[in-house]
Amino acid sequence: MDITTQQTTAPPTAPGPAAPADKRAARGATRPGDRIFLGLSRGSGIFVLVLMAAIAAFLTYRASIAIGKNEANFFTSFEWNPSGVPPEFGIAVLVFGTVVSSVIAMVIAVPVSVGIALFITHYAPRRLGGLIGYVVDLLAAVPSIVYGLWGVLVLVPHMGGLYSWLDEYLGWTGVFAWEGGPARSLLTVGILLALMILPIITNVSREVFRQVPRMHEEAALALGATRWEVIRMSVLPFGRSGVISASMLGLGRALGETMAVAMVLSPSFDIGASLLDPGGGTFAQNIASKFNEATVMGQDALIASGMVLFVITLLVNGAARLIIARRKEYSGANA
């Protein structure tokens, strides 16, 4: 007992005569194991950075070639003809399709996910909650190609009811007008994307809600709060930033989803007034469906569009961070 305490409390290195040696000791690089590990981890860190820089440089280079030769306005043109003479292409349709389908997905998925997560953590009996959680976990593991197949074979043929209902009651807005075409529209894509991101958002929200400190909930309970009031006063405020992060994860997936969108959407390079019209396109879907047959110039144009998607994703993440940071003072973290 005595001996072990002495061993563990003894200074790991004898105090060296020179200051630099001391400094190195403090950083833990004197033992061979430490030194090897430090070298390895530093090496891999640098390697990743170099790799990223190389990829970025390559993509930027190829994208800039395409944009340099482009005769149309890259941001506003509705054309996608990069191999034509002269080459003309623009991302307006893709921005529209990507943003709209993702927004639809978020509008549906976030409230439903939060609801499911609250049900699992605060309403359902333990067994039932566990079962639902397990099923949601399984959903998260389904590959997107399977969602795509299901979308084409099941969702698209069965959208008629919803579409005619929307047309009847909201058709006058124009946004929900339906001419009876196949349901391979941005709305269907949005609904499918909602289903795909629902498990991610639910899972993360569930973990966040589960971590609400018992004492915060009891504070509300002891004041005479009902279950819903406890959720409103303690659970949701505590989980707010977590839910935002979860939604951003989901949004990231929705923005970049490729296969399922490519399978469901009937691609066309224009922007319809109605969300129910077949057609439209998203960045990822456009790249997936065009890349194989593209010329070098066509590939470069697709790379350029991919970089725009990357920038959009970055902006979305930045915005989420801002939202979280703005109310940090009030977050549960410093309780």
Omega of the bond leading into 87 within 30 degrees of 0 (cis):
no
Q: Does 326 bind other proteins (CB under 8 A)?
A: no
The nearest distance, CB 200 to other proteins, in angstroms, is 25
The nearest distance, CB 212 to other proteins, in angstroms, is 10
Of 185-193, 219-227, 267-275, 288-296, the segment contacting other proteins by CB under 8 A is 219-227
Find the binder of other proteins among 3, 14, 222, 322 (CB under 8 A): 222
Residues shown for the chain: 335
Residues whose CB falls within 8 Å of the CB of residue 99, separated by 6 or more in sequence, listed in order: 312
Question: Which of residues 3 and 126 has its CB atom nearest to other proteins in the complex?
Answer: 126
Rounded CA separation 60/313 (Å): 17
Residues 63-102 that bind other proteins (CB under 8 A): none
Q: Name the phi and psi angles at 315, rounded to 5.
A: -60, -45
Question: Which of residues 1 and 222 has its CB atom nearest to other proteins in the complex?
Answer: 222
CA distances 176 to 85, 125, 275, 294, Å, are 38, 40, 6, 34
The nearest distance, CB 277 to other proteins, in angstroms, is 43
Residue 327 near residue 89, CB atoms below 8 Å? no
Rounded CA separation 281/303 (Å): 16
Find the binder of other proteins among 28, 171, 237, 252 (CB under 8 A): 237
In DSSP terms, 185 is beta-bridged to 278
Of 164-172, 211-219, 244-252, 313-321, the segment contacting other proteins by CB under 8 A is 211-219
Q: Does 238 bind other proteins (CB under 8 A)?
A: yes
Number of residues that bind other proteins (CB under 8 A): 27
- Mask of contacts with other proteins, 239-268, x by CB under 8 A? -x----------------------------
Residue 333 near residue 119, CB atoms below 8 Å? no
Find the binder of other proteins among 218, 295, 315, 318 (CB under 8 A): 218
Q: Name the phi and psi angles at 268, rounded to 5.
A: -155, 150
Type and span of the H or E element at 238: helix 236-256
Find the binder of other proteins among 59, 219, 294, 312 (CB under 8 A): 219
Q: Does 124 bind other proteins (CB under 8 A)?
A: no
The three-point CA angle 284-291-252 to 5° equals 15
Q: Does 215 bind other proteins (CB under 8 A)?
A: yes
Q: Does 225 bind other proteins (CB under 8 A)?
A: yes
Of 47-55, 76-84, 86-94, 214-222, the segment contacting other proteins by CB under 8 A is 214-222
Burial of 191 (0-12, 13-18, 19+ CB in 10 A): buried
| Binding site residues, other proteins, CB under 8 A | 126, 213, 215-216, 218-226, 229, 233-234, 237-238, 240, 327, 329-335
